[in-house]
Amino acid sequence: MKTAVVISDTHGNKRAFEKLDVIFSESDLIIHLGDTSGDGSAILKKYPDKTCLLNGNCDLMKCGEDEKVISLEDVNIFACHGDKYGVKRGYDRVAERAKELGCKVALFGHTHQPTESEKDGVMLFNPGTLSRYSHKSYLYLVINGGNVTGKIVDADALIDG
């Protein structure tokens, strides 16, 4: 069994990282789907061997890849920020790309809206945002024997409390 914490659109909110540090430390993988505004480097510095940073449309200093296929427990996961796939208008293109790459799961951000859905056999997850100015959430992903379970976690009370 492997676990991943998936975050996106933090836009410089380092306080969120501090509050989620225990969860980060206990997870097998941390995936940041972009729009870090440079704060993603703090996670990468602390957890270099288990952090995957992707570029977002607001990341002026590119620190990662634009998209990536991640394999956990023999499950392929497509990760991207989502802006290049028009996720604000729908999920068809991101699901199509994931399927094209042989992925069972697609992770994306950009909209700041947490999402759990399915399209053409691809599980779609958007963790929402950890920005200071929005309702905060992240995705906790568990992969066990080819089975994938994702849970959007409301983080407002944890981070702002």
pLDDT in tens, 103-159: 999 999 999 999 999 999 999 999 999 988 889 999 999 999 999 999 999 998 888
Q: What is the pLDDT of residue 62?
A: 65
Task: Evaluate whether residue 160 is within a structural domain.
Answer: no
Q: Which residues contact 74 (CB under 8 A, 6 or more apart)?
A: 146
Picking from 1, 55, 31, 7, the residue whose alpha carbon sits closest to that of residue 158 is 7
Hey, how many other C-beta atoms are within 10 angstroms of the C-beta on 140? 16
Task: Evaluate whether residue 159 is within a structural domain.
Answer: no
CA distance 101 to 19: 34
pLDDT in tens, 67-98: 999 999 999 999 999 999 999 999 999 999 99
Give the residue numbers spanning the domain of 135: 2-152
| Alpha helices (H) in 57-115, listed in sequence order | 92-100
Task: Evaluate whether residue 161 is within a structural domain.
Answer: no
* Element holding 106 (H helix, E strand): strand 105-107
Task: Evaluate whether residue 81 is within a structural domain.
Answer: yes
Q: How many domains does the chain have?
A: 1
pLDDT in tens, 30-69: 999 998 867 788 888 999 999 999 998 887 666 778 999 9
- Can you give the C-alpha Rg of the chain in angstroms? 14
Task: Evaluate whether residue 110 is within a structural domain.
Answer: yes
User: 19 is written with which tokens?
Assistant: 């509050």
The reported pTM is: 0.95
User: In this structure, what CATH number is given to the domain that contains residue 55?
Assistant: 3.60.21.10
